[in-house]
């Protein structure tokens, strides 16, 4: 097994407020890690640190052995290999679906426009939206938008994908399609870190579940360990609350 992501005693503070308090976390190749925990626990912050969208106050974040928490790292190069999907999709509203998908690979000189167009159509096909290539983002439903966002991230051919509550902003009937795409990715062996409140999905696809609480990792284990035999009282009460709903 090779370690793809490793966080070593990572801290982050906003002024006097320490929001991440010494996190140690490893993600192996082809592993699917799901982060759960109450709102404000620091899940998004930790996830966004993994591709340098958030700065670090202390500690190391190694991506394939390179510490991206240090200054003067070529973060753009690192990001080419790490896709990210946001809660609110963040599609580029001034471009067609296809242009959204092809922008980065073409702009970075990885593909010609023609190759990128062909690849985009394949990518859109895998997320079930081949017919929407010409559409503008504002004409799409939330679920369709999120699937385009996934296709856009995949167009850079990353081998790590980060998801920050990808289904939280969707109507319930849209959630299934997006999860289906993520399930496929996991089955293909994509290394994935997912922040979600979809406990059923987590149980099904996760290799490991990490429970965050107050900026720290409170408990971690296989889905069976975490969901069926939670040890800490915090995790127990958290699961009680979310599973009741």
Partner 1 sequence: MNVKRWGIMGLLLAIVAILVVGKPGEPVQAAEKTYTVGTDVTFAPFEFTDKNNRQVGIDIDILKAIAKVEGFKLNIKATSFNGAVQELQAGQIDGVMAGMSITKERKEMFNFSDPYFKSGVVMAVAKNSKIKGFADLRGKRVAIKTGTAAGAYANSIKKKYGFTTVTFDDSNNVYQDVIAGNSAACFEDKPVIQYAIATGLDLRITKMKLADPNNYGIAVQKSDPEFLATLNRGLKKLRQTGEYDRIITRYLGNGSQKEQTEKAKAAGSTDHSFGTLLKQNWGTLMSGLQETLALTLVGIICATIVGVLMGLLGVVPSRWAQGTATTFIYLFRGLPLMVLALFIYTGVPMVIGTKIPAFVAGIITLTLNEGAYTAAFVKGGIGAVDKGQMEAARSLGLPWGRAMRRVILPQGIKIMIPSFINQFIITLKDTSILSILGLLELTQTGKIIIARNMQGFKIWAMVALIYLIIITLLTWLSNWVQRKVQA
Residue 39 half-sphere exposure, CB side, CA atoms within 13 Å?
A: 3
Considering only 39, 94, 188, 244, the residue that binds partner 1 (CB under 8 A) is 94
Runs of H (alpha helix) within 33-110: 43-49, 75-80, 97-107
Q: How far is the CB of 75 from partner 1 (least distance, A)?
A: 8
Closest separation in Å from C-beta 138 to partner 1: 13
Q: Does the CA dihedral 103-108-110-112 come out positive or negative? A: positive
- The residue from 14, 114, 184, 243 that contacts ligand ADP (CB under 6 A) is 14
Q: Which residue lies nearer to ligand ADP by CB, 37 or 105?
A: 37
With CB under 5 to 8 Å by kind, the binding choice for 187 among Mg ion, partner 1, ligand ADP, none is: none
Q: How far is the CB of 27 from ligand ADP (least distance, A)?
A: 18
**Residue number, nearest CB to ligand ADP:** 44
Instruction: Residue 94: count other Cβ atoms within 10 Å of its Cβ.
Output: 9
Burial of 229 (0-12, 13-18, 19+ CB in 10 A): exposed
Residue 215, Cβ neighbours under 10 Å: how many? 22
182 binds partner 1 (CB under 8 A): no
Task: List Cβ neighbours of 76 (8 Å cut-off, separation of 6 or more).
Answer: none
CA geometry: angle at 54 spanning 106 and 73, to 5°? 60
Interface residues for ligand ADP in 35-64 (CB under 6 A)? 37, 39-45
Exactly one of 13, 70, 77, 241 binds partner 1 (CB under 8 A); that residue is: 77
With CB under 5 A as the contact rule, the residue among 6, 33, 44, 100 that binds Mg ion is: 44
97-116 footprint of partner 1 as x/- string (CB under 8 A)? ------xx--xx--------
Contact pick of 43, 79, 132, 145 for partner 1 (by CB under 8 A) = 79
Check: CB of residue 41 under 8 Å from CB of residue 215. yes
Q: Which does 153 bind (CB under 5 to 8 A by kind): ligand ADP, Mg ion, partner 1, none?
A: partner 1
The residue sitting closest to Mg ion, measured at its beta carbon, is 44
Pick the closest to residue 105 from 97, 96, 95, 117 (CA basis).
117
- Rounded CA-CA distance 55/186 in Å is 28
Residues 155, 130: Cα–Cα separation, whole Å? 14
State the residues that interact with ligand ADP by CB under 6 A.
Answer: 14, 19, 37, 39-45
State the residues that interact with partner 1 by CB under 8 A.
Answer: 51, 53, 76-77, 79-80, 82-84, 86, 88, 90-94, 103-104, 107-108, 149, 152-153, 156
């Amino acid at each position: 097994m090779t370690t793809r992501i490793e966080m070593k005693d990572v801290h982050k503070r906003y002024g006097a407020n320490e929001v991440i308090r010494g996190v140690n976390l490893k993600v192996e190749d082809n592993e699917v890690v799901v982060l759960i925990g109450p709102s404000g626990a620091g899940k998004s912050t930790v996830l966004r640190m993994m591709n340098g969208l958030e700065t670090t106050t202390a500690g190391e974040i190694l991506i394939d052995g390179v510490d991206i928490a240090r200054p003067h790292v070529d973060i753009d190069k690192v990001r080419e290999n790490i896709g990210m999907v946001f809660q609110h999709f963040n599609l580029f509203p001034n471009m067609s679906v296809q242009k959204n998908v092809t922008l980065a690979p073409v702009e970075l000189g990885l593909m010609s426009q023609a190759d990128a167009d062909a690849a985009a159509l394949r990518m859109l096909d895998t997320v079930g939206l081949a017919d929407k290539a010409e559409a503008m983002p504002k004409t799409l439903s939330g679920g369709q938008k999120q699937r385009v966002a996934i296709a856009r991230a995949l167009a850079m051919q990353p081998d790590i994908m980060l998801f920050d509550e990808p289904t939280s902003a969707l109507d319930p009937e849209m959630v299934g399609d997006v999860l289906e795409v993520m399930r496929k990715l996991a089955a293909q062996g994509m290394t994935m870190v997912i922040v979600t409140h979809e406990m059923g999905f987590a149980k099904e696809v996760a290799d490991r579940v990490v429970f965050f609480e107050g900026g720290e990792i409170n408990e971690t284990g296989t889905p069976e360990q975490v969901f069926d035999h939670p040890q800490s009282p915090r995790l127990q009460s958290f699961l009680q609350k979310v599973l009741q709903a």
